Amino acid sequence: MVPKNEVYLEFAVVRLRDIFNTLHRMGPVIRDLKISTAIPDRISTTAFVIAFLDWAISPRSIAGDLIRVLERVDVNVMEEDADTVMHKLTMKNEAKEAVVSWARFWCLNLLFPMMDRQLLGNLPEYWSIMADIRHSVMQRDSNRCPVTGIYDTFTATNVEPQGTLAAVHIIPPRISYNKTAKTLISKFTGGQILPEHLSPENIDAMDNALMLSTTISTLFEQYRWSICPERQGNPRFSFSVPGYHEEEHSYRLRKVADFYPPNTLSAPEDSRILFGRGPPEGGVFVLPNPSYLRLHYSLALILEATQAGKTISRIQHAMMRSGLGRRALVFWGDEMEVFLPTIYRRGMECVLGVLQWYAEEAEAKAVRQREKGGG
């Protein structure tokens, strides 16, 4: 077998792109990806593969991973000519299902967790950590959203535009406890973000936080817009803090999704975003981690190209409305019977819980009345 070095994988990326672009033009040769019985939306599997090869930070890693999956079903992408590979992908059911399973795995274990913006719970220590992050980031950016220019309503002067600001994670906090997602992030980024970089203390840190106006913070969490860090050829230096601070990257606004932006996101595409106008007391401020922002921007492009972002958002909305966990709405097959018993069971659990609460309240009320009558 040919060793999979960097040159090999570079050719693999080109070949896989050509093959799947051809399959995509041929129509529904490989069945679309369906990830929920609750939502009828489907994702084009071929478009999903193409998007990962086009927009992953390390397309070589993606190509190597897909090649290994196809080798298990006797599809040798690099050892066979392109026509043979496409013939197998169009004629062999196990080859087509291998591609669908590969896409589903990445969707469930990377895209889903990266769109999960729920916080870790009502733990007092966690909210204390979040308060510290908010305080630090507010100081870094002078109580101002660096994207919209809106100042925090509690510190703004009468002549400054003001509103509510929220501290937003670039990488969601729950990722720190998801081993599979951390491994896939490492592969997706070509090792730029290693699993050990995504520990709770690194996730809940200043370089993984932005202070944004609430008018655009949800759109950022939904990957509708992003920030692209570009390495500068001639770094600038700042004298606003003790010592020199080298600005190695230029941060640029990217409006990824085709939507009507709010007035507060009216800045033109490619506008430069300036962080760190007011450093925290007693030390050098920490800018957003460029690797984290590259990951966010890359996923935003994939979610938009495949329309998976809308599908996942709808599933998450259904989860919140029904009170179900992810595995109750996301499944590994297309059978409706997987979903309906879960809905019934959870519904009965909810009803029984309410009845139990009423019974306990009635019993407590009866006890109080007996005590009052006896007194």
Compute the distance between CA of residue 245 and CA of residue 193 in angstroms, rounded to an integer: 23
| Domain identity same for 203 and 273 | yes
Write down which residue in 115, 137, 169 finishes a domain: 115
In a domain, 348, yes or no: yes
Compute the distance between CA of residue 132 and CA of residue 46 in angstroms, rounded to an integer: 44
Tell me the backbone φ, ψ of residue 152, rounded to 5 degrees. -60, 130
| Domain identity same for 251 and 343 | no
Range of the domain at 255: 124-305
In a domain, 66, yes or no: yes
Residue in the structure block whose two tokens are 């913006």: 117
- State which amino acid sits at residue 209: A
In a domain, 241, yes or no: yes
Q: Is 260 left (phi over 0), alpha (psi -120 to 50) or beta?
A: beta
The dihedral formed by the CA atoms of 59, 64, 66 and 71, expressed in degrees to the nearest 10: 160
- Give the pLDDT confidence score for residue 354 in this predicted structure: 44
- Give the pLDDT confidence score for residue 117 in this predicted structure: 83
| Domain identity same for 184 and 205 | yes
- Give the pLDDT confidence score for residue 281 in this predicted structure: 53
Cβ atoms of residues 78 and 15 within 8 Å: yes
DSSP per residue over 36-55, as a string? BSS----B-HHHHHHHHHHH
User: What sign results for the dihedral spanned by CA atoms 258, 287, 182, 99?
Assistant: positive
| Domain identity same for 265 and 351 | no
DSSP β-ladder status, 162-163 and 165-169: unpaired
What is the domain count for the chain? 3
In a domain, 265, yes or no: yes
User: What sign results for the dihedral spanned by CA atoms 350, 352, 357, 358?
Assistant: positive
In a domain, 317, yes or no: no
- State which amino acid sits at residue 114: M
Compute the distance between CA of residue 203 and CA of residue 170 in angstroms, rounded to an integer: 9
Write down which residue in 92, 115, 138 finishes a domain: 115
- Give the pLDDT confidence score for residue 232 in this predicted structure: 64
The CA-atom distances, in angstroms, between 329 and each of 186, 298, 309 are 27, 26, 16
| Domain identity same for 110 and 166 | no
The residues, ordered by sequence, that sit 6+ positions from 339 with a Cβ below 8 Å of its Cβ are 37, 38, 328, 329, 331
| Domain identity same for 102 and 59 | yes
The residues, ordered by sequence, that sit 6+ positions from 187 with a Cβ below 8 Å of its Cβ are 58, 61, 62, 65
* pLDDT tens track, the chain, 375 positions: 444 678 888 999 999 999 999 999 998 899 999 887 767 788 999 999 999 999 999 999 999 999 999 999 999 999 999 999 999 999 999 999 999 999 999 999 999 999 988 776 666 677 788 888 888 888 888 888 999 888 888 777 776 788 889 999 999 999 999 999 999 999 999 999 999 999 999 999 999 999 999 989 999 999 999 999 987 655 444 433 333 344 578 899 998 887 666 666 777 788 888 887 555 555 567 889 999 999 999 999 999 999 998 888 888 777 666 555 544 445 434 333 444 444 444 444 544 544 554 455 556 666 667 776 765
User: What sign results for the dihedral spanned by CA atoms 28, 29, 31, 32?
Assistant: negative
DSSP per residue over 201-232, as a string? HHHSSGGGEEEEEHHHHHHHHTTSEEEEEEEE
- Give the pLDDT confidence score for residue 362 in this predicted structure: 59
| Domain identity same for 198 and 72 | no
- Give the pLDDT confidence score for residue 261 in this predicted structure: 67
- Give the pLDDT confidence score for residue 339 in this predicted structure: 42
- Give the pLDDT confidence score for residue 333 in this predicted structure: 40
Supply the Cα-derived Rg of the chain in whole angstroms.
25
Nearest CA to 99 out of 52, 41, 39 is that of 52
In a domain, 310, yes or no: no
The residues, ordered by sequence, that sit 6+ positions from 354 with a Cβ below 8 Å of its Cβ are none
In a domain, 328, yes or no: no
- Give the pLDDT confidence score for residue 341 in this predicted structure: 47
| Domain identity same for 84 and 169 | no
- Give the pLDDT confidence score for residue 364 in this predicted structure: 63
Write down which residue in 69, 86, 115 finishes a domain: 115
| Domain identity same for 201 and 271 | yes
In a domain, 313, yes or no: no
Helix (H) or strand (E) holding 167: strand 165-169
| Domain identity same for 107 and 240 | no
The 10 Å CB-count burial string (b at 16+, else e) for 169-193 is bbbbbbbbebeebbebbbbbbeebb
| Domain identity same for 269 and 167 | yes
- Give the pLDDT confidence score for residue 323 in this predicted structure: 55
| Domain identity same for 83 and 165 | no
